[in-house]
Structure 1
């Protein structure tokens, strides 16, 4: 039954991606700022409305999303939607925005989809199965240890200084800082493009923020932890996340970063 969920959900997400891509290609969208000073476009709401209707028409399952959704009973199964993760990237014509969709049952993620409509990269998985990009099994390449580290820009936090120090010491071969969708960057770890990815959530993440990408990474043999190496709650997490391609990349990176971070935070 769950495979049917994934098949139909994939069709819905692909169509939602076409809506997003067309709006961007024709430059026919508008945006405003929410109370938390993050942008929201009219396409965010349009896509969420479309996906909500299609999901409700297809399944007798609750739906929640980032943009003005109904209250739900989280003790029962529900779909979680982020119609455009990385709205800044969408409105500034960067190609790092994505759609997040997950099915959550009994407090666990059972289906996870992340789709970047601009690069046509479709990441998918389900509980107890492998992760895929299109028809290819993830990861596409192995990262035997820490090699390429990507991080979400956080200028004010000392971890940025620690990362730069690791790069200067040649302990990290490549250091990048790419904005846009956090889940897309997480999926690039599952893909094998990065060995590690770091982001910071000053407030608790919601179910639509991380849950799909966490399952994709897990089923590709990776980990999503905090800085202490403890697996995060994919539905409700606050603080740092460290996405790692495998156990070695996780352990090596945490052993590198934590001593530097301890020194710099004590200064």
Structure 2
């Protein structure tokens, strides 16, 4: 059974609005074993989306962020036929603190590649989506590479300092090659802001599969470039976290990557 992006959006978006918005800034947060935050909204949204996907595509299993590591590993070991990868609430710390920057992120992975990606921001009602080889969209409008003509010194960079090495983080903070820096607190949405041209550079030291799977396809289909700090493809269908160096404009990727390498990244 083929999975159509339009149908997927129709199934998932109403659930994200229903499960997340009424709970925004109204639920208590707990801390998981890995130090990350989880709320009732994470669990309720994952349960609702999982049930809806199973009803429409019963043959495709779902790997969710809020599953145990053992469950996730079991699913990945048998993922060749395809699976969903869901982060029901990316930006949970923002959500719990009342900061309106969070999203649901969903990817369909098959044969080791992301085939479909969907990131939905219910606060702004913005749906970023992509289908492999077919393009990327924001609320149905195509996202395409735009040559900026900018030097690094004039760029806005989306940088998560927390997960970088102290040496690289210090160099970026004290001698940045860009004009301005932002860190919004949702990896999935950051990929999409880059794909939409709301910033020119991106750097993150550690993301999980559910953080980057959907967003990496959206950026790639918009014409952007990305790799890890080690120069490898970002996508790896496993639980090992991955770093990200990315730009939307391919002309900026080489200079950005070279500066990071020279700085010890």
- TM-score bracket for the superposition, by shorter chain length: 0.7 to 0.9
Alignment of 1:202-213 (within 5 A): 205-206=208-209, 208-213=210-215
Aligned to 1:232: 234
- 2:255 aligned residue (226, 244, 252): 252
Structure 1 residues 80 and 228: alpha-carbon distance in aligned structure 2, compared to 1, 3 A threshold: closer
Aligned to 2:136: 131
Offset of 1:16 from its aligned partner?
A: 2.5
Alignment of 1:46-65 (within 5 A): 46-59=44-57, 60-65=59-64
Q: Secondary structure at the match of 1:43?
A: helix
What is the Cα-based RMSD across aligned positions, in Å? 2.1
Q: 2-side partners of 1:242 and 1:162: how far apart?
A: 16
Structure 1 residues 56 and 148: alpha-carbon distance in aligned structure 2, compared to 1, 3 A threshold: same
Q: 2-side partners of 1:142 and 1:58: how far apart?
A: 40
Structure 1 residues 92 and 122: alpha-carbon distance in aligned structure 2, compared to 1, 3 A threshold: same
Q: 2-side partners of 1:188 and 1:84: how far apart?
A: 17
Q: 2-side partners of 1:249 and 1:55: how far apart?
A: 38
Q: Secondary structure at the match of 1:261?
A: coil
Aligned to 1:261: 264
Aligned to 2:179: 173
- The answer to whether the 8 Å contact 1:153/1:179 transfers is no
- 2:159 aligned residue (141, 151, 159): 151
Offset of 1:149 from its aligned partner?
A: 0.8
- 1:216 aligned residue (200, 215, 218): 218
1:176-212 alpha-carbon deviations (Å, 9 max, x no partner): 2x232111011111000111111111xx723x22110
- 1:41 aligned residue (35, 39, 42): 39
Alignment gaps of 5+ in structure 2: none
More displaced 10-residue stretch of structure 1: 188-197 or 231-240: 231-240
Alignment of 1:47-196 (within 5 A): 47-59=45-57, 60-68=59-67, 70=71, 71-72=74-75, 73-139=78-144, 142-145=147-150, 146=152, 147-154=155-162, 157-167=166-176, 171-176=177-182, 178-196=183-201
TM-score normalised to the size of structure 2? 0.87
Q: 2-side partners of 1:219 and 1:239: how far apart?
A: 20
Q: 2-side partners of 1:188 and 1:142: how far apart?
A: 16
Q: 2-side partners of 1:239 and 1:20: how far apart?
A: 27
- The answer to whether the 8 Å contact 1:223/1:231 transfers is no
- The answer to whether the 8 Å contact 1:143/1:245 transfers is no
1:199-231 alpha-carbon deviations (Å, 9 max, x no partner): 111xx723x221100100000000121235432
Offset of 1:144 from its aligned partner?
A: 3.4
1:121-178 alpha-carbon deviations (Å, 9 max, x no partner): 21001111111111221148543343111111327622222223443xxx412222x2
Structure 1 residues 213 and 251: alpha-carbon distance in aligned structure 2, compared to 1, 3 A threshold: same
Q: Secondary structure at the match of 1:80?
A: strand
